[in-house]
Homo-oligomer: A and B are copies of this chain.
Amino acid sequence: MRKNYLLTPGPTPLPPQVQEAMARPIIHHRTPQFQAILKEAQEGLKYVFQTKNDVFILASSGTGAMEAALINLLSSGDTALIVQGGKFGERWTEIAKAYGINSEIIDVEWGQAVNPLDIGKKLKGNPKIKVVFTTLCETSTGVVNDIKAIGEIVKNTQAVLVVDAISGLGAVDLKTDDWSCDIVVSGSQKGLMLPPGLGFLSVSQKAWGLIENSKSPRYYLDLKKARKALEKTDTPFTPAITLIIALIEALKIIKQDGLENVFLRHRKMAEATRAAVKALGLELFAPSAGSDVVTAARVPAGIDGEKLVKTMRDTYGVTIAGGQDELKGKVIRIAHMGFIEEFDIIAGISCLEKVLSVMGYKFNLGSGVKAAEEVFLK
């Protein structure tokens, strides 16, 4: 017997309604039956994205949707401003490089949020900047950026604001329209509680202005094709039918709970997790800018971080994430996003305590769980 607990920042666990939906017989996509589903998905996505703009659904992972945003907006030789502060901020730079875009980079120290004023300065200094690429929650460090303040700054410029909200959408507040986010990119396997395989993009009128003129070559990821199809409640290419049917179920759950309550739940789990790791004597990796999506904590001196994660997963069935790239072995990352609940966090912290203890780390057994319980009891 082995019971598994998934506490990773994507994929996140699946609600039973989502699992059940994917086990249904499949239907054809060029039918009124599927059109009704696409329509419902569109309405639910607009609610979660907090937008009146169209939200496009791609059969791709989040990176495909990031690439779609970039190549539909920009042509080779154009200039973009990219906020980097982790692995996923860097992905914008990599995609830009692949397409011959000139990147101005704000290189934020890993573990810190960007100072929105720095974006304003850069935009003032270089009027050629057509697009600002940012990240809502940087999964690799656990940091959340102040998109509201960034939107305030970008909206009065010529530049279009793109937010990678793959991690964070449906978990922390992101008011796409009110905060003047022109393109918000997301994926299915995070706050939306689905398996990976869907990418999403909301697109503003300001963004369409650039899209009309972009010369980057594209076909599968062409948003003009997607818009033309959506006008007829259709997709330009065969959609990932099963995942879209499951999406309906996930959106129903979010709508039933209400976005505000969903955000409060994430806030509470994040506070509990932060309290727990601190009680265990672990240092938060992003003490000033930690997100309600995933908490990164430094692995204590003398403990093998990779072995810690591996033992929790392979011996006890609790999967958390380790560090990526330059943080490999140096941090652990505990997700509290999507279909994760209070007692999943308790289980995760308890397992962390168990393995830390076995590995010889000195602390008061139960102190992490107690600290989390105190937060949840409030």
Query: Copy number in this complex?
Result: 2
- Look across to chain B and name the residue whose beta carbon is closest to the beta carbon of A24: B19
A143 to chain B, nearest CB (A): 20
Q: Evaluate contact between A239 and B196: CB separation under 8 angstroms.
A: yes
Pick from B6, B100, B242: contact of A197, CB under 8 Å: B242
Q: How far is the CB of A191 from chain B (nearest CB, A)?
A: 15
Q: A22-B242, A314-B32 are in contact. Are A220 and B63 (CB under 8 A)?
A: yes
Q: Which residue of B lies closest to A68 (CB)?
A: B220
State whether A98 touches B31 (Cβ < 8 A).
no
Give residues 227-248 of A contacting B (CB, 8 Å): 237-243
Q: Considering the complex, which residues of chain A in the window 7-33 have a beta carbon less than 8 Å from any beta carbon of chain B?
A: 8, 10-11, 13-14, 19-20, 22-32
Q: A32-B314, A61-B59, A100-B217 are in contact. Are A27 and B6 (CB under 8 A)?
A: yes
A197 and B240 within 8 A (CB)? yes
On chain A, the number of residues with a Cβ less than 8 Å from chain B's Cβ atoms is: 57
Within 8 Å of chain B (Cβ to Cβ): is A141? no
Whether B13 pairs with A26 at a CB distance below 8 angstroms is yes
Interface flag for A62 (CB, 8 Å): yes
Extra inter-chain contacts (6) besides given A64-B237, A189-B238, CB under 8 Å? A6-B26, A10-B238, A59-B60, A60-B60, A196-B240, A196-B241
A-B pairs with lowest CB-CB distance, top 8: A197-B240, A23-B23, A195-B242, A22-B22, A63-B237, A98-B219, A61-B238, A196-B238
